[in-house]
A = this chain, B = another copy of it.
């Protein structure tokens, strides 16, 4: 029997955080197609397994429990599979980092495409994007993270917070390589963490499969086109 079903668009973006955890714990899962997602998110809440506005939605076939919202799905999986330390502060910090990551995703897509990127808007956003990188870097540094070793919350093994951090910054900079120099400059320890977590067999295998399945798409849609357009401008900040 398959352990889980992930309902998410055929792109990396928010869904990749869930896939990274499923892959890390060795769970089996299947994903349904674009049409299924549209049908599910358009259904009346009374007809939805979990009343929700949009994907991702995860179904745990152990108990046929469905849950939406990236942070809720990740904490559910992280706690079920022992990836979250069992003290109040670590649990709160894990949720904090997930919601920071979610805010970065909102801001990188101008709130899921509510507006498109312009050169002016992108230029104005650079200091803020760099500050987000520094926020993750400083969090890791306080917990002993270095370029060569450690994990963002000071654990001995990678936990949910590390998978989230590596999926956010690692996936973004591998799909949008022009941003990698900015990450290296503003968050060298986070860059190292992304590379170490990304080198785990489960994550390497996932990346290969996701690249096959989703190609170069990161957030997808018109917003990705406008994002790539501004990043690629020869004199755009953060372009390589």
Contacting pair B134 A45 (CB below 8 A): yes
Complex CA gap A71/B94 in Å reads 11
In the complex the two chains form, is A139's CB within 8 Å of B51's CB?
A: yes
Decide if A76 touches B92 in the complex (CB within 8 Å): yes
* Interface-located stretch among A15-23, A30-38, A106-114, A173-181: A106-114
Binding-face segment, A95-103, A163-171, A215-223, A229-237: A95-103
From A3-11, A61-69, A203-211, give the one contacting chain B.
Answer: A61-69
- Max count, chain B CB within 10 A of own CB: residue among A50, A51, A128, A139: A51
A235 to chain B, nearest CB (A): 25
Q: Give the size category of A's interface with B.
A: 35 or more
Which residues from B are CB-within-8-Å of A93? 67, 72
Residue numbers of A with Cβ under 8 A of B are: 44-46, 48, 50-53, 63, 65, 67-73, 75-76, 79-80, 88-89, 91-93, 95-96, 99-100, 102-103, 106, 110-111, 114-115, 128, 131-132, 134-139
Partner of A114, one of B48, B69, B115: B115
Cβ contacts under 8 Å, A106 to chain B: 106, 111
Nearest CB of chain B from residue A6's CB, rounded to whole Å: 15
What are 15 sample pairs from A and B whose C-beta atoms fall under 8 A apart?
Answer: A45-B135, A48-B138, A51-B134, A51-B135, A51-B138, A51-B139, A52-B135, A53-B135, A67-B89, A72-B92, A72-B93, A72-B95, A73-B92, A80-B88, A111-B114
* Distance, CA A135 to CA B92, complexed state (A): 26
Is the CB–CB distance between A65 and B51 below 8 Å?
no
Contact A92 B111 (CB under 8 A): no
Contact B79–A91 (Cβ < 8 Å): yes
* A89 and B65 contact, CB distance less than 8 A: yes
Out of B46, B88, B100, name the residue touching A76 (CB < 8 Å): B88
CB within 8 Å for A138 and B45 given contacts A92-B67, A103-B53, A111-B111:
yes
Q: A45-B134, A71-B71, A138-B45 are in contact. Are A88 and B92 (CB under 8 A)?
A: no
Residue on B nearest A112 in the bound complex, by CB: B111
Contact present for A131 and B92 (CB under 8 Å): no
Could you tell me if B114 and A92 are in contact, using CB atoms closer than 8 angstroms?
no
With a cutoff of 8 Å between Cβ atoms, the chain B residues found around residue A132 in the complex are: 53
Which one, B88, B99, B115, B128, contacts A71 given CB within 8 A?
B99
